[in-house]
Structure 1
């Protein structure tokens, strides 16, 4: 089983979803997690430090059992500017402000920021994986829409709305808190503290055993703020 499959199976088995994971040349394995929808609705509480600790402990154990080589493990939330990587991400965040970067420029630009919507003719209650998507934006004068397919997108992320002193503001950037490094654990640990063509349209409102090599033990756990 590949390390990606190990991560995916372990995280989902704990009731979370993998937003993304990456592995660096120096042996750092970084995993971003989130809570899935509950009956089609956003969970009442976002991922916190305790959730990241739980996933870190279990991942560390399973990776060792499966002999997946790594030096350091970090588990965190995806941040306020959560990336959109899968079709299910787009379906989940339909109606939210997003920033889309295309692989190829369209009408002289690659980046578009606006409200994410389903493409024309798509049923938002049963969106197929290969459906076209749309970002509705303003050029300063009129409202426009860009239809695109997922394979045309280089990257996409939410544009977070932060309420500051009663005013809603748009902001970019990651917003995660750091916790103390987790200690090495060789088994299922007890519950103890260890420390992402155009046409004028109107946007639709959407509610919608181990022989593993020795390694460093300075694993980290990141906790996130409300997304």
Structure 2
């Protein structure tokens, strides 16, 4: 059910975001305790501000009230994905070459199931690999990760 609601919300919110030159990063419909939350994460180059989140929230709320795809009470939250935004699409990876990222994998590569480092390349052609440069005990190393082996990817805040 929560996937259907997220998909339906995506259909509703996408035209609003296109009109406002904003990007849909993610939607989640989750139960926390006794309450349901519909969370919509938006972004744009340079980040979104609270006014933009408020505008999207108001307009989306009106649309949701008219269409009424969610029959139980819920809280609508519209926000930025934050500094450690998820990288859900291939385009996200392409747009963040040179940035510090964190990936978890479906299976081990070179003995590890997660990596954090600089995304140095993403080749969508023949190899379809993500290349990450990371530190291993003070030494710089690179790992090539097949895109299909990535379970999750996100930006990572670096304190260097």
Structure 1 stretches of at least 4 aligned residues deviating more than 4 Å after TM superposition:
none
- Asked if 1:79 corresponds to 2:82, the answer is yes
Higher strand share: 2
Query: What number of residue pairs does the alignment pair up?
Result: 148
Whether 1:142 aligns to 2:142 is no
CA RMSD of aligned residues (A): 2.1
Find 1:14's aligned residue among 15, 20, 23: 20
Q: TM-score of the superposition, structure 2-length normalised?
A: 0.81
Bigger fraction of residues in helix:
2
Q: How does 1:1-227 map to 2 (within 5 A)?
A: 2-25=8-31, 26-35=35-44, 42-43=45-46, 46-69=47-70, 71-119=74-122, 122=123, 131-161=128-158, 169=159
1 or 2 for the larger relative contact order (CA 8 Å, sep ≥6)?
1
Q: CA deviation at 1:12?
A: 2.7
Structure exhibiting the larger radius of gyration computed from Cα positions: 1
Q: Give the superposition deviation at 1:101.
A: 0.8
Structure 2, unaligned runs of 5 or more: 1-6
Q: Distance in 2 between matches of 1:34 and 1:160?
A: 17
After superposition, the Cα gap between the structure-2 partners of 1:68 and 1:112, relative to the gap in structure 1 and judged at 3 Å, is same
Separation in structure 2 between the aligned mates of residue 12 and residue 72 of structure 1, nearest angstrom: 23
Secondary structure at 1:63's aligned position in 2?
helix
| CA drift at 1:148 | 1.5
Q: Is this contact kept in 1: 2:107–2:149, CA < 8 A?
A: yes
Partner SS state of residue 81, structure 2: coil
SS at match of 1:27: strand
